[in-house]
Structure 1
């Protein structure tokens, strides 16, 4: 029966190929005239950066050839050099335009699942919008309210909350009074939260009602904190008791009211403490993948220069809409939202739990945030794009064979014509329309940053979403700005050319065998120098002097990443010094590279590759996708009821061998070298979360913690 179906699918695909070939032959002249593919292909290879020196030393410096935009030039001319001035400029330009939108939560109700379990789900209404004027009034009143509660200029204020409109308004309110904000991820564990609060000597923490309970446990360890400001939950009453007599707990709305009353009484008139360009705007804590999180000191001019360099990349339009869901404590999200405000682009707030129609907190029959907002721009980290890709592939794999064959044919056809400079509007509006609808149906481009995006995921998402997926490279220490692909860039696995705010230096790293005279492209450690490079690490002078340096009047940062520049001036991040392990026979394995390739496989939820320098091969610790593992196990007669069965199953070794073989097949497709491919694997039922201490708040692996935690399993694999 299967062979009959397979033959029928093959015949159908052959027929479709014939029809497509005929259609292409007839319409090609028309597409040639309309789409002008020769221009598109010429843009693929346009020079993005050129070297300033020619390898006479052990480094080479690259600089962007892009001209600054009119917006960028006007900001320089008008001396808009602080975030407070940028914010005021956006308000004066856009006044009554919608600025920040929040979805109305009508109720939270129990919903019975097919398996009989009951989950809490949201019934949601539409988006309610604050205009730029309303947002500005709220920010000014929040800043005044802080002053009324006893805070002073230059006093640090922690913001520890989920991404929401009040987060951004609070930050701008603090900046209007020249109070540096300290950003901490909402997913941080207690120890990291205590560390950030104590190190910055804060007395005031702005948090959300959902996170307020944490402070009952940590307040005894944060002696300086005497004021908690709480962003209210729309459904639950706010309980202000139980935090001790020494700590005042005030609602966000009360702070706004205090500031408003102070303004009306004449006590405050406008902004009394406007910051200067060199003043600290943010102390942003990194995710802490190699130890305790470090507080990166960003001045106002650092952030403004980084943000303005993004205006040089490509067009933004009046009808654009941005959907915000990444943590605002992440530099990519903060810079993105600040940039959209500059252009008057409405920002609609979402969460991973409510983003799509299928998200876990969306009540059956209710639309997800993307379907209601219909954004044209989103910013993602690779983890999100990997998961979207896996969902799409799972649906295709789970459908009829003929649908899978047609989908693969469409992908092949579209990619071939894109390489020749053409687009495929009919395919975009038919076969790929349901995939675009997953994110609202209007996505114009996607920004990806925070970690390397696997080339396969990059290509897949660009093809299926029918829009540019612009990968960038930046760090907290460079205010998220270093490189970004432009709209004409058709490369995969690159991060585009340098932004106008900085130069990029490649320095030969002989130990890792990366040199600037490597052929055909120079390779080396990436150093970034420019006005976007941060001041340093808060209260950590030794780490600051090790990572930052001054040269020829410019501040530079040593990234520890290994890069390669192409002939067109594209930067490829190809390795990381700390991820590189030399095996027993002298081969170098890049752990991060292997992980990024293998995590695309649908069996993988999370993976950590470990390589012992005294051995000949790496091994893998793998958290599986349970549904995919269950399907694979059933084919071999192994039954699994829950994820916990994975570790306790009598045929666990057999399952691990099945998964290992699948990963090894996948590794061959990804063209990994034999010595890079894991030769042993352990399946884990643990879910790696920031609370477990095995991943950071940004879900980057904490390798040392993972190694320590699973050392006995690593020893077993090597034995």
Structure 2
């Protein structure tokens, strides 16, 4: 397992930003990782975990995170994963509900942990992953009455202990994974050791894990997809390199100018991603090419059209890779074999472009925390888009009629309905939430099923196409339905859009949207309109807003949206939506209720003053 060396930290007080100078990767051998896990598990026996025996992991993705998790599981403790980017009240809810007294965190999150402690004094012991430069640093005053121990001290304490540890069984709960709460408050999904192992066993052949992979882990390990994939690569003794979304590429916000991003240093053969990241990669490539001028852009588009065509001979594609696409591929390390995508729907155009630009397989997975990530995965040899593959090994997948929107298993040419899942990967339910558990976990003929809320169609080849989501479908006042998630997926591919939230007011018959504006595109538009204004001011200029709205509407029509699906008004925000803002989850899913509340005044203004005011 590899971690990049932190050489220097640069703070820019004027803009309240921090950038990092990072070096090469330093490595732990498999033997060293194993010894650390064993010693940590023994060292934990000297720490009182309270009556619950549950230990919270509240940290960013790093090598210590997974070693701590495996150490906890090895000695029979239940790991409670909590996203550090959740709102304070949501973190407190999770920890108090799980009755956690021991929390494992990082030095950079000690301040956040102190805030949590002030609202949940049940924390008795804090184990800290030390910073490479400052070590433990200064412990916040509010934590002075709490036992604060560096991770390495727990490991060292366990090295001199000789004892046998209790062996957990497959049916024991291993992890309580608190969801990011994209629609409602976070819920603790209970995953047993069997749930996790069955998911990994299913995923290894379906996702084509191979020995000697270089896996870059940068998504939150509190996200079930990254967690289970990493366990799979540990199982195969593959090289795992750790990174961060904030330092992923040389253009990432925390990378100091002159430093390379994680992906360029790690040179992975395999990595996971969420669709929004791939949308931004494609957008970045297109913008970089456009800056080279008309002739270069024309040549690039011609080469891309050839590469995309399935009729182009292999030797021609190899020539194009050498002459045109090799330099682009180096932006993601140059060695990528597979990018596994999950978390939300992937636009078909993005899937095709990523495959052509980087010469790698884009493998789409579909799952949920409640199924330990495992439901379906595409076959890398299947070049079709718009589907998420066939059910994984051991997964029983069925459809239920949803009469309200006329989705039925008797539909022609293919059955449609809500996806339900059974099998060894399915969770027993939510921790201390019996009503929520009864609502989505059902029994059919003695089988324990999870109701996903996703609407799918299964074609004659057995692959699953997610066509709607119950929570994303909105009924208009004329009785028709639109899927806001589908509209957002299409609109995110427009270069003016860094992110988008589509909303329909109850009783209305059209939608509006909040758009996180792309700074480069908006500044370029400002120049075209002869407006000498800042990015922030341009976002509030009616002429710019109207121009962007017109472009979005045209873009939507090109991608097959109907006129009723096109937003009739928009609000441009210059501020990015990051997990730290609370507007998106760790996997960059929009937290719909939070965004709606945050932009309530702007939404009301669009409906009261715009083309919707009489409807």
* Normalised TM-score (structure 2): 0.94
Report the equivalent of 1:411.
304
1:243 to 135, 139, 142: 142
2:90 to 175, 178, 192: 192
Distance 2:558 2:568 in 1: 16
Note if contact 2:114-2:140 (Cα within 8 Å) is conserved in structure 1.
no
Superposition RMSD in Å:
2.1
Matches within 5 A, 1:137-152: 137-151=35-49
- What does the per-residue CA deviation read over 1:500-556, in whole Å, with 9 as the maximum and x for residues that have no partner? 121111112111121222222211111111110001001000110111022234321
Note if contact 1:630-1:639 (Cα within 8 Å) is conserved in structure 2.
no
Q: Give the match's secondary structure for 1:196.
A: helix
Q: Give the match's secondary structure for 1:633.
A: helix
Matches within 5 A, 1:93-132: 100-109=1-10, 120-132=18-30
> Which segment drifts farther, 570-579 or 293-302?
570-579
Note if contact 1:604-1:622 (Cα within 8 Å) is conserved in structure 2.
yes
> Which segment drifts farther, 463-472 or 153-162?
153-162
Distance 1:686 1:106 in 2: 30
- What does the per-residue CA deviation read over 1:78-99, in whole Å, with 9 as the maximum and x for residues that have no partner? xxxxxxxxxxxxxxxxxxxxxx
- What does the per-residue CA deviation read over 1:156-211, in whole Å, with 9 as the maximum and x for residues that have no partner? 10000000000000000001111010001122221111111111001000000000
Distance 1:586 1:639 in 2: 45
Distance 2:51 2:393 in 1: 32
Report the equivalent of 1:668.
557
Note if contact 2:86-2:582 (Cα within 8 Å) is conserved in structure 1.
no
2:567 matches 1:684: no
**Shift in Å, 1:294:** 0.3
1:286 to 179, 182, 188: 179
Sort the Cα spacing of 1:401 and 1:433 in 2 relative to 1 into closer, same or farther, 3 A.
same
Note if contact 2:522-2:535 (Cα within 8 Å) is conserved in structure 1.
no
Report the equivalent of 1:258.
157
Q: Give the match's secondary structure for 2:245.
A: coil
2:544 matches 1:655: yes
2:371 matches 1:470: no
Q: Give the match's secondary structure for 1:698.
A: coil
Distance 2:486 2:332 in 1: 28
Report the equivalent of 2:126.
228
**Shift in Å, 1:712:** 3.3
Matches within 5 A, 1:264-275: 266=162, 268-269=163-164, 272-275=165-168
1:703 to 566, 572, 592: 592
Distance 2:417 2:269 in 1: 37
| Structure 2: tracts of 5 or more residues without a match | 607-611
1:495 to 377, 388, 391: 388
Matches within 5 A, 1:358-377: 358-377=251-270
Matches within 5 A, 1:155-234: 155-234=53-132
2:452 to 548, 559, 566: 559
2:428 matches 1:428: no
Report the equivalent of 2:199.
306
Note if contact 2:52-2:99 (Cα within 8 Å) is conserved in structure 1.
no
Sort the Cα spacing of 1:163 and 1:513 in 2 relative to 1 into closer, same or farther, 3 A.
same
Distance 1:589 1:626 in 2: 30
> Which segment drifts farther, 122-131 or 669-678?
122-131
Distance 2:535 2:571 in 1: 17
- What does the per-residue CA deviation read over 1:456-488, in whole Å, with 9 as the maximum and x for residues that have no partner? 111111111111100110000000000001121
Q: Give the match's secondary structure for 1:298.
A: strand
Note if contact 2:515-2:570 (Cα within 8 Å) is conserved in structure 1.
yes
Q: How many residues align?
A: 607
Note if contact 1:296-1:477 (Cα within 8 Å) is conserved in structure 2.
yes
Q: Which has the larger radius of gyration?
A: 1
Note if contact 1:154-1:179 (Cα within 8 Å) is conserved in structure 2.
no
Distance 1:540 1:256 in 2: 35
**Shift in Å, 1:430:** 2.2
Report the equivalent of 2:419.
526
